[in-house]
Amino acid sequence: VVFAGFSADALGSRIRDAGAETIITTDQGVRGGKLIELKKTVNAALDQCPGVKRVFVSQRTGNQVPAHQLDIPLEQAMASESTECPPEIMDANDHLFMLYTSGSTGSPKGLIHAQAGYLLHAMMAHKFVFDYCPGDIYACVADVGWITGHSFVVYGPLCNGATSILFESVPTYPDPGRYWEMVERLKVNQIYLAPTALRLLLKSGDTFVKKYDRSSLRTLGCGKWSWCR
């Protein structure tokens, strides 16, 4: 899984390094009211990746986007498959996923996380650090393309059978009350966000926070960097 904001060159280098044969993408992304041309980026990356054999394309906006000969409509492919998927027995050290570093200190490095150790840590951290209880509504607003999103949007919550909210766009669109409107509307019990987002929201004061009912919220998590008001 890679960050959706990468250029075609950055995406292509990771695809080649990983030896990936399949790409799953979407026609366009939506961020801050703007359309992000994800499929165009993938098409440009494919020119550098002769090893790719198929590209599954999901319809996010439904707008017309440039096609490629390797394209397969994801929704159609899923509809043709059985709704039953027996679990596969895996060894504790089998590969779960590969995630690349940012490349800020050299070429991006693909880090492989194994099945048992990573899943156990993600499950326990989600349950005990965030005080998750069965039936809670949980939200991590991190980008799924980075390790926080992997761990606390996908793997940790799913291991605990949790309802995990997927957040799209930015915290200030259409206004700085976006997070708290979501908390009120969906009755969120735990929310996990980045200090960069909190610093940004602090500039808007308390008005957009107090505007919404946050009584359902028990835990607010903030990780990665230290911050102060």
> Looking at 48-62, 83-97, 188-202, which range is the least confident one?
188-202
> What is the rounded CA–CA span in Å between residue 223 and residue 196?
10
Note the pLDDT tens digit of each residue in 137-168: 999 998 888 899 999 999 999 999 999 999 98
User: Looking at residue 116, what is its pLDDT?
Assistant: 94
User: Looking at residue 225, what is its pLDDT?
Assistant: 58
Tell whether the model's pLDDT for residue 58 goes beyond 80.
Answer: yes
User: Looking at residue 229, what is its pLDDT?
Assistant: 45
Tell whether the model's pLDDT for residue 4 goes beyond 90.
Answer: no
Tell whether the model's pLDDT for residue 38 goes beyond 90.
Answer: yes
Note the pLDDT tens digit of each residue in 90-142: 999 999 999 998 878 888 899 999 999 999 999 999 999 999 999 999 999 98
Helix (H) or strand (E) holding 57: strand 54-58
Average pLDDT over residues 43-65: 97
DSSP conformational letter for 94? S
Asked whether 125 and 101 are in contact (CB, 8 A), the reply is: no
Distance of CA 17 to CAs 49, 108, 184, 215, Å? 10, 9, 43, 47
Asked whether 98 and 112 are in contact (CB, 8 A), the reply is: yes
Q: Where are the domains of the chain?
A: 8-79, 115-222
Token pair 């980045």 is found at 194
Question: Which two structure tokens, joined as six digits, stand for 170?
Answer: 């930015």
Mean of per-residue pLDDT scores for the chain: 93
Question: Which two structure tokens, joined as six digits, stand for 15?
Answer: 């695809």
What CATH architecture is 115-222? Answer: 3-Layer(aba) Sandwich (3.40)
Distance of CA 29 to CAs 5, 32, 42, Å? 10, 10, 12
Distance of CA 70 to CAs 13, 50, 51, 114, 225, Å? 19, 11, 12, 30, 41
> What is the rounded CA–CA span in Å between residue 49 and residue 22?
11
Nearest to 187 by CA among 158, 213, 149: 213
Helix (H) or strand (E) holding 156: helix 156-159
User: Looking at residue 119, what is its pLDDT?
Assistant: 95
User: Looking at residue 172, what is its pLDDT?
Assistant: 93
CA atoms within 13 A on the CB side of 173: 9
> What is the rounded CA–CA span in Å between residue 84 and residue 142?
30
Tell whether the model's pLDDT for residue 226 goes beyond 80.
Answer: no
